[in-house]
Amino acid sequence: MTLLNVENLSVTLATSSGSAQAVRNLAFNLDIGEILGIAGESGSGKTMTALGLMRLLPHKGFATGSILFDGKNLLAESNKAYRDIRGNQISMIFQDPMTSLHPMIKIETQLTEHIRHHKKISQEAAHIRALELLNTVKIPDPASALEAMPKQFSGGMRQRIAIAVALACDPKLLIADEPTTALDVTVQAGILRLLDQLRREKNLAVMVITHDLGVLSSLTDRIMIMYAGSEVESGLTSDILKNPRHPYTKGLISALPTSDLSGKTLKTIEGMPPELGKIPSGCAFHPRCSYSRDPCALEIPQAVQISAKHRIFCPVNPLVNS
């Protein structure tokens, strides 16, 4: 069942040289209990997509289009009505657990303030809920953890606490923005396992944003690849990783380090992603693309359906038909 349906989403940000589009005409959907991965280089608009959904865009930034969540258009809700959804039915985990928790507020308050606000429950009930949440995210000794300050925990533990904060009101949708990027590799696996377990136990829909395709391969059902604010390819995780069609996706996957290539130089995609506000005409990827032909610079590519759930935004024939 579809929980989230995003159509035509664009995000405009204010920059020093005027406004610029960070996300352009994005469309995707997400089912209950599904994990969607959104991948791309830094600056591809992944985080702005998430912040657009959360209506937490930076000063003077705004989103247009439609975001249907559980039948409601989130962009049309008033601020007050939206605040009742945010943190309650949709919640978010941020990249850096060292800065996303308030350094001067003890864990219990940070874990229960929104439960008490949204669910109108007593302090005692919230306390019990907080203990339960810390158990769920496997924090040892929850009772004393509640009394502690964030700086008494390691990065991995803080991210677990941040996940507990996000889960506190039993949301339907969890957005995880680079949830493991700031963590050690060994800690990463634990966090990913936790997200997967939560999805299965609570039927949670999860949107994971990352630049690390390795993270997505083990966790997600589907992947959407973004470049310069637009989707370039999306499909089932296995399709994307084993049978990528878009030249950009191919480049990303061949740039992954693998053990059998040891001693060889890592492959890279030539050139740099465009800066905000300086997006090339037509297909944004064409200046870096080895398949690029004349029309690529002129026409914005339309979606080409490869299979039921696999599509690319590139009309160049050899790729579509390979």
Residues engaged in binding another protein (CB under 8 A): 54, 56, 59-60, 82-88, 91-92, 94, 96, 99-106, 109, 113-114, 117-118, 149, 151, 162, 165
- How far apart are CB 118 and another protein at their closest, in Å? 6
Give the position of tokens 């310069």: 228
- How far apart are CB 86 and another protein at their closest, in Å? 4
- Taking the least distance from each CB to another protein, the nearer of 151 and 309 is 151
- How far apart are CB 94 and another protein at their closest, in Å? 6
- How far apart are CB 155 and another protein at their closest, in Å? 14
- Taking the least distance from each CB to another protein, the nearer of 109 and 317 is 109
Question: Contact, 211 vs 42, CB < 8 A?
Answer: yes
Q: 3-class SS at 149?
A: coil
- Taking the least distance from each CB to another protein, the nearer of 55 and 310 is 55
- How far apart are CB 117 and another protein at their closest, in Å? 6
- Taking the least distance from each CB to another protein, the nearer of 150 and 244 is 150
Tokens of 268: 């890279």
Question: Contact, 107 vs 147, CB < 8 A?
Answer: yes
Question: Contact, 301 vs 231, CB < 8 A?
Answer: no
Written as one letter, the residue type at 147 is E
- How far apart are CB 57 and another protein at their closest, in Å? 10
Question: Contact, 173 vs 69, CB < 8 A?
Answer: yes
Contacts of 251 (CB under 8 A, 6+ apart): 267, 269
CA distances from 149 to 83, 97, 191 (A): 26, 13, 21
- Taking the least distance from each CB to another protein, the nearer of 80 and 278 is 80
Q: What Rg value do the Cα atoms of the chain yield, rounded?
A: 20
- Taking the least distance from each CB to another protein, the nearer of 36 and 165 is 165
Q: 3-class SS at 289?
A: coil
- How far apart are CB 105 and another protein at their closest, in Å? 7
d(CA 260, CA 288): 27
d(CA 132, CA 29): 31
- Taking the least distance from each CB to another protein, the nearer of 45 and 247 is 45
Rounded to the nearest angstrom, the gap between the alpha carbon of residue 165 and the centroid of all alpha carbons in its chain is 17
